[in-house]
């Protein structure tokens, strides 16, 4: 009788030592599992802030490709990252798929440089009275129609005309050398190079999850210990 009672008393202790093995408790979690990195994606635009996806949906497009922005508006481009790099390079309507060069001692066009990681890049509109044309300088992309515009007119040098001119260049598009990001610009300026998105919120969420897991484990341990004490008490009654 003592042997049987002692065995019964040990059951709660064994369950506490390995709850999954004996059919108790939630499934064991894998502490090394981490969420996959997510490339930044453009949120909805707001007043004074326009957001544009670069290579949206894996296609050679900017989305939206044609926007209207007043002075002081920030236009942020979200790069997807991956094997295919993209750029936001200011272009010349009269010379599609070519960077806007400095004229008469003025400023040259902005250029994000080719980006193959998930980053953001922002322009500040400084002259909303002139159209701003841009394109992706990754080989063949501009000739496939990957262009965009800010404050393009509704007649004459429209966005559609700019895109049609780029597509007309097609396979004869010149391969451009990439020298990295270029700040400045005409009609809109970049004051910084592309930068990765901050991930504070993700880290915070992970920390909360870990804390909850520790509290749950403590509750299981306390409960198991109480069960063990109860079992020993029952065993002593049988012995007596």
- SS3 readout for 177-197: CCCCCECECCCEEECCCCEEC
If one looks up domain 49-196 in CATH, what number appears? 2.60.40.420
Domain regions of the chain by residue span: 49-196
H or E segment to which residue 49 belongs = strand 49-54
Supply the pLDDT for residue 48: 95
Taking the complete model, does pTM exceed 0.75, yes or no? no
For the segment 123-146, the average pLDDT, to the nearest whole number, is 98
Q: With 80 as the cut, is the pLDDT of residue 2 above it?
A: no
Is the pLDDT score of 135 beyond 90? yes
C-alpha distances in Å from residue 194, one per residue of 66, 98, 115, 119, 180: 21, 21, 8, 6, 10
Interval 96-112: pLDDT, tens: 999 998 765 678 999 99
Quick one: which H or E segment has residue 12?
helix 2-17
**Which secondary structure element, helix H or strand E, spans residue 213, and what is its range?**
helix 200-239
- Closest residue by Cα to residue 111 from 78, 136, 79: 136
Q: Tens digits of per-residue pLDDT, 61-106?
A: 999 999 999 999 999 999 998 999 999 999 999 999 999 987 656 7
Residue 41: predicted pLDDT: 80
Mean pLDDT of the chain: 78
Q: How many CB atoms lie within 10 A of CB 80?
A: 20
Q: Please state, in angstroms and as integers, the Cα–Cα distance from residue 133 to each residue in 20, 68, 166, 221, following that order.
A: 62, 12, 11, 65
């Amino acid at each position: 009788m003592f042997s049987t009672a002692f065995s019964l008393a040990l059951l709660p202790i064994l369950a506490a030592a390995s709850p999954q093995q004996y059919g108790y408790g939630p499934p064991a979690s894998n502490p090394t599992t981490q969420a996959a990195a997510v490339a930044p994606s453009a949120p909805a635009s707001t007043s004074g802030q326009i957001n544009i996806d670069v290579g949206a949906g894996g296609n050679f497009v900017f989305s939206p490709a044609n926007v209207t922005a007043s002075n002081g508006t920030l236009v942020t481009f979200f790069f997807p990252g991956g094997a295919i790099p993209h750029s936001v390079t200011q272009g010349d309507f009269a010379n599609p798929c070519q960077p806007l060069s400095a004229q008469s001692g003025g400023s040259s066009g902005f250029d994000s440089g080719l980006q193959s990681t998930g980053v953001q890049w922002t322009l500040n509109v400084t002259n909303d009275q002139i159209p701003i044309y841009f394109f992706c300088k990754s080989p063949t992309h501009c000739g496939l129609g990957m262009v965009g515009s800010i404050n393009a007119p509704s007649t004459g040098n429209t966005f559609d005309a700019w895109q049609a001119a780029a597509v007309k260049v097609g396979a004869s598009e010149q391969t451009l050398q990439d020298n990295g990001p270029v700040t400045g610009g005409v009609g809109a300026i970049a004051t910084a190079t592309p930068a990765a998105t901050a991930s504070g919120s993700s880290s915070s969420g992970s920390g909360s999850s870990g804390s909850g897991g520790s509290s749950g484990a403590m509750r299981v341990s306390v409960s198991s210990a109480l069960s063990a004490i109860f079992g020993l008490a029952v065993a002593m009654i049988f012995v007596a």
